[in-house]
Structure 1
Amino acid sequence: MDQLTRHLLDKEVKKFINSIEPSLVCKLASSLHPEKKPCHVFSDPQKGSYNICFPVVFTDSEDQISDVESTQSAERWMIRIPLLPRLAFPEEKMRGEIATMKYIAEKTTIPIPHLFKYSINRDNILNLPFMALEYIAGKTLHGIDVPCLPDELKSHLFDQLADVYIQLYHQQFDHVGALTLDSNDNWVFQHNRPLTIELNDQELSGMKSSEIIPAHQTYNSTIDYVYAVLKLIFNDFYHGKDSVFNKEDARNYLYGIFASQGIVMEWVDPKDNHGPFILMHGDLRPPNVFVDADLNIISIIDWEWSHTVPPQMFVPPSWITGQELPAATKKPYDFAFTVYVSQFQRAAREWEDKHYNPDKKLKFILPLVKLWSKHLMSDTFFIAYALLKPCYFGNVYWNLLDNMYYGEDSDKRVESFFKLRKKQEEELQRVLSNLEDFEKELALEGLDPLKPPTLDPAKGKEVAAIHQVWRKPNLERIVGLFRRWLPCSLVGVSVFVCCIIVKRRR
């Protein structure tokens, strides 16, 4: 989403929140309660990216509302209202979230808030859609530096996350799409598109993302879905108002998208091309994971962007590295990224063997172990992360993929690309002209244009992460780091030994 759209929407969101009367929220909650108990909002509303949440506590009588001690152990709910200005498809988003929560509660033991009541329309005293949810007491993982956790705590966290991923892996479907509600408010998986944050934000920015992935568009193959994601990335370049910083950035971005098409299509595994496709939480970030004081996961929230993904895109969470993709994929920090993914993969392998292996099969042939052993064995797994976060696709391409696939002399390749493609050169000039106009619009709003991010190698979590990798080195970590080089090394040793044997026989 461009800077100006975000700025204007932030203003609209503030107006929207100010228009919500807390007393009406309490009145609504009381009307929904089985015993119609009175309640009050007991702390400040909690604002997320796409929802505003009002925590309410119920009491036995109006007299107890001001009595703090009597409400400490009382029943609490969270009245969650979608921030309508931040949503391009609010009804679709809510239907998908409610259906997914119902499905998860029915099919898994993943901890989620209990859903008491909801309204997708405005048929209530708030005149707004809402969800009445169980109040989750605790803190989120936001602000917890996962790489710097003590080994025991980190292993404990990884084990629990592994359990979530293993259970999600078992929720398999025949196409890429999303759950929704039928006419009886039961979950159904039929013809709903995979609604993502990228789709939402592009639509709000006037980029017509629904023309690329329409409301009822689903995908029966990985190639078809990946091609649609690439079209969204092209759409960002051609129509995003601040998708580039300057001419050099624009040239690199456009070249990178074109050059990556062959890479991505080659990356698709024909054996997994037609699924089955796996249910994935579309926004499983630290703020959406609630834990207690001992780092036990007590609830996972915000399932609105959940959808099924191709097997190759079902990968461990990138935030376990402590960084966003642009930093995590920069050399030498990709080294640390690989380590943490390897550690998480190992945790999932052991957990699947211990808790999801009733027939006592060899651990290396268990379903998720096999999938990740196949697809996390080389740096190409970064492609999956780039496709899951299209806004960072250009960063991942230039940080890793360009050199990995095409080697050095990138400047010459970019220059040759635009010399041979007049149409792309013209599009480049159009985008740069639009950027100049957009910066004038920003100035009128008193905003400065975004600047290219700069990384200070002497500071930040990147260095801390790499330091943590080597803080307590052991054999398993080293093997994890060099797993993609190990087969080549073994081949070399084998050839060397054969040569010695032949020579001795002669």
Structure 2
Amino acid sequence: MRSWLGYPKACPYIGTRGKNVLKTGYIIISFVTGGQMLSNTWGDYLLSDKTRRETLFGDLAKIMLSLNRVKLPRIGSLTSDDNGLIELKNRPLILRHQTFENEGIPTIPRNSTYHSVEPYVLDLLQLHDNRIHYQANAIHNLKDGQEQFAALTMMRGLLPQFISRQYRDVPFVLTLTDLHASNIFVDENWHITSLIDLEWACCSPIELQTPPYWLTGRPIDDIEHGEHLDAFQKS
């Protein structure tokens, strides 16, 4: 009925009021019944089994392309109100930002959303400024401090070189920001059966929709020009 009248559809998962026999709060959660965490077999097959790698990469690509089909008007996070209406009206919150807040470091204000890429990226850099200011052990010594400030200054100066004018304002897409091997469940052949920890999904610039760096089996600091970067690009 709401869609016929031009209103957004309500989410079926909304709270209901009723007599609660429990004296404490509770939450009902689901659980994964099929497959196992990819991290359980990641080290066994990553380099030795090309078929499993291609299967995993293909499934990940299908998931990401499926998410990309829905274009969203701004950068932020989806929320659900008391009536079950889903709206894009909250800040783009990822796990790293929540970790900052847990340590007393200010992050993006709750109701902030972005209509273009540059303000969002500049606020991300501001988070690292805040970490240096509010976290007592953020800088280990003089050299470390100089390197951190130099990196932040350089990133601000080079920002226009890394943002395409074509994608500055649109499109924005739903992105899984906490996609690691323990949040992906697979079957014996590495077909993806389930994804968990989706609470950190948010709407991001299309240029941030990239394959996870860990698909190469190396830390991000090791992906430099040459063999490892080529492996990442091929993935």
TM-score scaled by structure 2? 0.84
Structure-1 residue corresponding to 2:92: 194
Structure-2 residue corresponding to 1:493: none
Shift of 1:238: 2.1
How far apart are the structure 1 equivalents of 2:203 and 2:64?
Answer: 13
Between Structure 1 and Structure 2, whose CA radius of gyration is higher? 1
How far apart are the structure 1 equivalents of 2:184 and 2:140?
Answer: 34
Structure-2 residue corresponding to 1:131: 28
1:238 to 122, 133, 146: 133
Q: Residues 435-454 of structure 1 correspond to what in structure 2 (within 5 A)?
A: none
2:233 to 334, 342, 346: 342
Q: Residues 171-190 of structure 1 correspond to what in structure 2 (within 5 A)?
A: 171-189=70-88
How far apart are the structure 1 equivalents of 2:120 and 2:86?
Answer: 23
What secondary structure, in the 3-state scheme, does the structure 2 residue paired with 1:265 have?
helix
**Per-residue CA shift, 1:312-342, capped at 9, x if unaligned?**
111111110113323x33x5xx534422332
Structure 2 vs 1, CA of residues 253 and 156 (structure 1 numbering), >3 Å: closer, same or farther?
A: same
**Amino acid of the residue matched to residue 155 of structure 1?**
E
Which has the higher mean CA deviation after the structures are superposed, 263-272 or 131-140? 131-140
Shift of 1:134: 4.0
What secondary structure, in the 3-state scheme, does the structure 1 residue paired with 2:197 have?
coil
8 Å CA contact retained: 2:174, 2:203? yes
Structure 2 vs 1, CA of residues 150 and 276 (structure 1 numbering), >3 Å: closer, same or farther?
A: same
Structure 2 vs 1, CA of residues 201 and 290 (structure 1 numbering), >3 Å: closer, same or farther?
A: same
8 Å CA contact retained: 1:193, 1:214? yes
Structure-1 residue corresponding to 2:39: 142
**Equivalent pairs: percent with the same residue?**
24
How far apart are the structure 2 equivalents of 1:124 and 1:142?
Answer: 40
Shift of 1:194: 0.6
Q: In structure 1, list runs of 5 or more residues that go unmatched.
A: 1-101, 107-114, 345-506
How far apart are the structure 2 equivalents of 1:247 and 1:147?
Answer: 40
8 Å CA contact retained: 1:178, 1:308? yes
Segments ≥4 residues shifted beyond 4 Å = none
8 Å CA contact retained: 1:118, 1:130? no
Q: Residues 313-462 of structure 1 correspond to what in structure 2 (within 5 A)?
A: 313-326=208-221, 328-329=222-223, 331=224, 334-344=225-235
How far apart are the structure 1 equivalents of 2:82 and 2:155?
Answer: 42
Q: In structure 2, list runs of 5 or more residues that go unmatched.
A: 1-9
Shift of 1:156: 1.1
TM-score scaled by structure 1? 0.41
Structure 2 vs 1, CA of residues 129 and 244 (structure 1 numbering), >3 Å: closer, same or farther?
A: farther
Q: Aligned pair count?
A: 221
8 Å CA contact retained: 1:282, 1:304? no
Structure-1 residue corresponding to 2:191: 296
Structure 2 vs 1, CA of residues 221 and 292 (structure 1 numbering), >3 Å: closer, same or farther?
A: same
How far apart are the structure 2 equivalents of 1:218 and 1:127?
Answer: 34
Instruction: Identify the structure with the greater helix proportion.
Output: 1
What secondary structure, in the 3-state scheme, does the structure 2 residue paired with 1:127 have?
coil
Structure 2 vs 1, CA of residues 129 and 259 (structure 1 numbering), >3 Å: closer, same or farther?
A: farther
Task: Give RMSD over aligned pairs.
Answer: 2.5
**Per-residue CA shift, 1:1-22, capped at 9, x if unaligned?**
xxxxxxxxxxxxxxxxxxxxxx
